[in-house]
Chain A
Amino acid sequence: MAILEIKNVSKFFGGLAANSNVSFSVEEGTIMGLIGPNGAGKTTLFNCITGYYPPSKGEVVFDGRRMNGLDPDKVCMLGMVRTWQKVRPLAKLSVVDNVMVGALARTSSLKVARELAMEQIKVVRMEHRADFIAGGLPIGERKKLEVARALATQPKLLLLDEVMGGLNPAESEEIIQLILDIKQRGLTQMVIEHDMKAIMRISDRIVVLTSGEKLTEGSPQEVVSNPEVISAYLGEAHA
């Protein structure tokens, strides 16, 4: 069953079509990869799905419910949460307080929230950092904090925007394992990634965006052997 359906979504910024007529759906329990060169409109699509921008045209249906016009907080409460490509730690708060803010979406008790937060901090293996001030974390751990905080809101669908961006190979590998762990727990994910190799390993299906339009969609094998993808995406990456 499709947990998320994106139907003919367009987003215009003045004359620029950051997304135009994009349609696809995400099956429950799977990982959907979203790739495309810089400026292809991937982050904009996340913004349209999660209520930061209303789509100029088209419809977003999550869990059988039309999402257009809902604010980001409502979207989160309905079970869809995103992380940020440009990380947004609550800089003056500790790691555990950051994750507690996420957990407080589902409980009003600080005690319960702290327990839920510690669980998610364990998932991303940052127990030793729990009391560290988030603003002082290195980039690799900031990315993991984004994931833990999002998980703490207990989503049905997790949207990850370039969580491996700017990480070294060892850190990226750790994130890949983390994403596969999360899938094991039955959570649906949509993952934006620039690194083709990583996205091939984790995705069940992949959508390719270029200049705001959906170029193609398919299994990782289908996508990687599509000559259009190779010229549009890999061509740029290897240029």
Chain B
Amino acid sequence: MDKTILKAIAILAVLGGLLAIPRFVDSPYALHMMILLFMSVMMGQSWNILGGYAGQHSVGHAAYFGVGAYTTMMLMHTKQIAPWIGVWAGIALVVVVALIIGSICFRLRGPYFVLASIAVAEILRLSAINLTTLTNGAEGILATELPPFKVGGAIITDFATKVPFYYIGLFLVVLTVGVTYLVQHSKLGYFFQAIREDQDAAHSLGISISLYKNIALVLSAVLTSLAGSFYGIYVGFVDPPTVLGLDVSVQIMLICIIGGMGTLWGPVLGSLVLVPLSEALRSNMITEALVKIGLVSPESKIGIFLKENLSHAHVLLYGILVVVVILFMPDGLMGFIKKLAKRRKQEAV
């Protein structure tokens, strides 16, 4: 059978499975993990458009994530504007922010672009801390009371469980992956990749560098802001470090580096590795597992040390993971899998 048809069937099957999950799973914890996974795919995929396809390695995507999250939360908290309306304000604001950032940062190439993108996100984080009348400063904004979602007077959901969030997350994942698919299969994708591979060559072939970099940035920023708004309303709380911090930017980028930059499924793979890993570290699951299989006794010095420290060590472990990936799979998991498949094909011949 045709390969693309097989792929389409596989994707529809997975999607069907994902749609059915809340019918069979009612553990809030399991749904919570799935929602975190969706959020991670969204964030990674949004960065992928700018960083992976267009090759502009922004380390400041927290700017768009945070502006989206803050705008939606502030409007809900102070003006009682429903998040599905506030999210549009977030998008509009993010477009403005992105174009300002683009006009500053895209004058620069390579490491200078990276530094400028970090600087801009840091400026926004510091502004959120200091503009206390607007953002409530370092205390952040707590807004957990979501208005019920109505269509034509009928209440669709009142957000009492995690199920509506699950479906919103799934919808947003399909949206971001869909947008990326369309980009990849259009002139835009070709132009983005040409700019990534060789900016001067791209320029000589009639590609307006500033126009297409800005298109990539705006697409990427809008999707990131959607992820930020979703984060805000799901968690019910935003403050400067959790939505505008440098580690948010790094986390977003890591998803792509580990999964594979500039590929449609890279961010999905990256999320499938990173989300369970960070959860296992956070909840001390790894130490418990080591104890369970009898490798470490809970009373031994090592056991106590791991229990106390492993959950704080995620930054270190991420660092090690990135080094391993860069050394042994420079094109991420996706590139590694493709290489294996190719090798197997050649061996079969």
Q: Residues on A close to B: CB < 8 A? A: 50, 52, 71-73, 76-77, 81-82, 84, 88-93, 97, 100-102, 104-105, 108, 110, 113, 149-150, 153
Contact indicator A84/B201 (Cβ below 8 Å): yes
Contact indicator B204/A50 (Cβ below 8 Å): yes
Having A72-B203, A110-B190, one finds 14 other A-B pairs with CB under 8 Å, namely A71-B203, A73-B207, A73-B209, A76-B204, A76-B205, A81-B204, A81-B205, A88-B198, A90-B193, A92-B197, A97-B193, A101-B202, A108-B187, A113-B190
Our pick among B187, B197, B198, B208 for the contact of A73 (Cβ within 8 Å) is B208
Our pick among A89, A91, A105 for the contact of B205 (Cβ within 8 Å) is A105
- Closest 10 interchain pairs by CB? A105-B206, A90-B197, A76-B206, A88-B201, A72-B203, A101-B194, A88-B198, A73-B208, A102-B205, A73-B206
Task: Decide yes or no: A90 and B194 within 8 Å by CB, A73-B209, A108-B187 being known contacts.
Answer: yes
Contact indicator A93/B200 (Cβ below 8 Å): no
Interface centre among B201, B203, B207 (most CB of A within 10 A): B201
Instruction: Answer whether residue B185 sits at the interface, using C-beta atoms and an 8 A cutoff.
Output: yes
Contact indicator B190/A97 (Cβ below 8 Å): yes
Residues on the A chain within 8 Å of B78, using CB: none
CA distance A145 to B198 in the complex (A): 14
CA distance A200 to B193 in the complex (A): 39
Residues on the A chain within 8 Å of B201, using CB: 84, 88-90
12 contacts between A and B (CB under 8 A): A72-B204, A73-B205, A88-B200, A90-B197, A92-B197, A92-B262, A100-B190, A101-B190, A101-B205, A101-B207, A108-B186, A108-B187
- Least Cβ–Cβ distance between A79 and chain B, in angstroms: 10
- Least Cβ–Cβ distance between A213 and chain B, in angstroms: 26
CA distance A93 to B189 in the complex (A): 12
CB interface residues, B 255-270, toward A, < 8 Å: 262
Our pick among A52, A76, A150 for the contact of B200 (Cβ within 8 Å) is A52
Our pick among A52, A82, A90 for the contact of B198 (Cβ within 8 Å) is A90
CA distance A149 to B191 in the complex (A): 14
Contact indicator A110/B206 (Cβ below 8 Å): no
CA distance A101 to B202 in the complex (A): 8
Contact indicator A153/B190 (Cβ below 8 Å): no
Residues on the A chain within 8 Å of B208, using CB: 71, 73
Residues on the B chain within 8 Å of A82, using CB: 204
Contact indicator B187/A110 (Cβ below 8 Å): yes
CA distance A161 to B22 in the complex (A): 62
Residues on the B chain within 8 Å of A149, using CB: 205
- Least Cβ–Cβ distance between A160 and chain B, in angstroms: 13
Residues on the B chain within 8 Å of A91, using CB: 197-198
Contact indicator A77/B185 (Cβ below 8 Å): no
Residues on the A chain within 8 Å of B202, using CB: 90, 101
Residues on the B chain within 8 Å of A52, using CB: 200, 203
Contact indicator B197/A104 (Cβ below 8 Å): no
CB interface residues, B 165-211, toward A, < 8 Å: 185-187, 190-191, 193-194, 197-198, 200-209
Contact indicator A104/B203 (Cβ below 8 Å): no
CA distance A72 to B262 in the complex (A): 26
- Least Cβ–Cβ distance between B14 and chain A, in angstroms: 26
- Least Cβ–Cβ distance between A168 and chain B, in angstroms: 25
Which B residue sits closest to A101, measured CB to CB?
B194
Task: Decide yes or no: A104 and B198 within 8 Å by CB, A71-B203, A81-B205, A153-B205 being known contacts.
Answer: no
- Least Cβ–Cβ distance between A49 and chain B, in angstroms: 11
Which A residue sits closest to B202, measured CB to CB?
A101
Interface centre among B202, B203, B208 (most CB of A within 10 A): B203
- Least Cβ–Cβ distance between B169 and chain A, in angstroms: 31
CA distance A110 to B193 in the complex (A): 15
Residues on the B chain within 8 Å of A73, using CB: 203-209
- Least Cβ–Cβ distance between B21 and chain A, in angstroms: 36
Which B residue sits closest to A90, measured CB to CB?
B197
Contact indicator A104/B204 (Cβ below 8 Å): no
Which B residue sits closest to A155, measured CB to CB?
B206
CA distance A76 to B262 in the complex (A): 27
- Least Cβ–Cβ distance between B215 and chain A, in angstroms: 14
- Least Cβ–Cβ distance between B43 and chain A, in angstroms: 24
- Least Cβ–Cβ distance between B266 and chain A, in angstroms: 14
CA distance A71 to B200 in the complex (A): 11
Residues on the A chain within 8 Å of B209, using CB: 73
CA distance A102 to B191 in the complex (A): 10
